[in-house]
Structure 1
């Protein structure tokens, strides 16, 4: 794998098997939520991931409910806003979910999406400067490692400081990039991560979240952005070929998608999951 950029990334990351995740944060009741979890598991998805906003389900409670009605599906956060909770609180929750899910919990952490300061304020937590938020994320990662060292840790990163932190502490790096970003731009970002991670790079699992599958725009976007790696189109085999080529070139093996597209991506999951 040798993406363009400042360095030639030497080595083969295709030994990372494909994993697929469903991102969901809404359900009308318990029956709807547990049905979604079972559908994701039956379709071959590896994870059900819950965002962290005050407009969606509480991520820890939702993860516990999903784990209780499934057997192989892993559950996690995508991603927990580090400013919203004390590091020790997150570690406590992560250790509890690890135990109650029989080890199927994965923790995704971020430094706060745009607009997340409003949630922090409502929760009575200081949002902080970018530097302070990254420091809190770092302390949260350390607290979780101390309390539940085998919980898989994902860090969402795009800027240099978060990439540096992810390079040192994450198991999975989720690239926080806009949907219309090109493969060349992704390659340049991964080149930067490679420089920061050094010998750890080839152990890192790389995640990219799809914003749309097919021609239907996501609920939050009035129309699809033209081009870019965030939109996947074509027949199931064509989409599978696209993801396989991206893994060969970029090393991206973990693909997540909104629950809106669970069924649309399911045939691709059937072709690639675990390969």
Structure 2
């Protein structure tokens, strides 16, 4: 995201006009303004849903995550989704730079559980803020199966398609849960906040990776329908730098 807020607001309006349903923001200090107030602005100037993708539990207390999430649900009149996870690769460096104590994997997951429990108490019986959880290892997957409404599998460029599809089917076998697909490369365009700097689009395309999607609208529509029918992915996340490219796809799938 750019720090030119006028350009950003124009981009958000254009994304809404193109038929996209949700604007998501990462949780990386220094990359953009803080997610909560920025998402509130996005929701105030469009009818889009908004969400975090994703809050990192090692750098945020559980009560703070819950409070912000519930507040955004109120401010957006129910258009907020809480995305939460244990942190992107390299999160340990950020934790150290912020002067915070190291957080082990078990504690990161405990914070996620506590945040969701606090959020459910704040929401009360008549409100439910959707929780999207980014997962990879078996402990995170088990927790997501308990507490999440939406699950995305944190993919690495080298991950085989059949491995990710197997994990997705395991979730669907447990219960009916929305599966989100994290597409970091569209054609030759790489979303920098969604994957590593050494990602090579040609390699992902050759490997038939789920992190890759063609920039040809017809091919992209066919592939997304295939992924939905075969594996159950119904929620697709792309980088904003590919929004214009895939706008014809959105028009066909809406």
The runs of at least 4 consecutive aligned structure 1 residues that moved more than 4 Å come to none
Count of residue pairs brought into register by the alignment: 242
Q: For 1:161, which of 125, 134, 139 is the aligned residue? A: 139
Look up the match of 1:60: 36
- Does structure 1 conserve the Cα–Cα contact (< 8 Å) formed by 2:191 and 2:238? no
Give 5+ residue unaligned stretches, structure 1: 1-25
Equivalent positions of 1:112-151 (< 5 A) are: 112-148=87-123, 149-151=127-129
Q: For 1:223, which of 194, 200, 207 is the aligned residue? A: 200
The separation in 2 between residues aligned to 1:29 and 1:259, in whole angstroms, is 15
- Does structure 2 conserve the Cα–Cα contact (< 8 Å) formed by 1:52 and 1:81? yes
Q: Which structure has more RCO (C-alpha within 8 Å, separation ≥ 6)?
A: 1
Equivalent positions of 1:27-176 (< 5 A) are: 27-57=2-32, 58-71=34-47, 73-148=48-123, 149-176=127-154
Q: Is 1:209–2:182 an aligned residue pair?
A: yes
Q: TM-score, normalised by structure 1?
A: 0.82
The separation in 2 between residues aligned to 1:255 and 1:36, in whole angstroms, is 19
1:222 CA displacement: 5.7
The separation in 2 between residues aligned to 1:206 and 1:218, in whole angstroms, is 20
Q: Is 1:182–2:157 an aligned residue pair?
A: no
Equivalent positions of 1:229-244 (< 5 A) are: 229-233=210-214, 235-244=216-225
Deviations 1:191-223 (A, max 9, x none): 43345xx2xx22x10001111111334443463
Q: 1:251 to 1:229 in 2, by over 3 A?
A: same
1:124 CA displacement: 4.0
Over the residues paired in the alignment, what is the CA RMSD in angstroms?
1.7
Q: 1:141 to 1:29 in 2, by over 3 A?
A: same
The separation in 2 between residues aligned to 1:122 and 1:100, in whole angstroms, is 32
- Does structure 2 conserve the Cα–Cα contact (< 8 Å) formed by 1:180 and 1:229? no
Look up the match of 2:241: 260
- Does structure 1 conserve the Cα–Cα contact (< 8 Å) formed by 2:215 and 2:246? no
Q: 1:180 to 1:239 in 2, by over 3 A?
A: farther
Give 5+ residue unaligned stretches, structure 2: none
Q: TM-score, normalised by structure 2?
A: 0.89
SS of structure 1 residue aligned to 2:13: helix
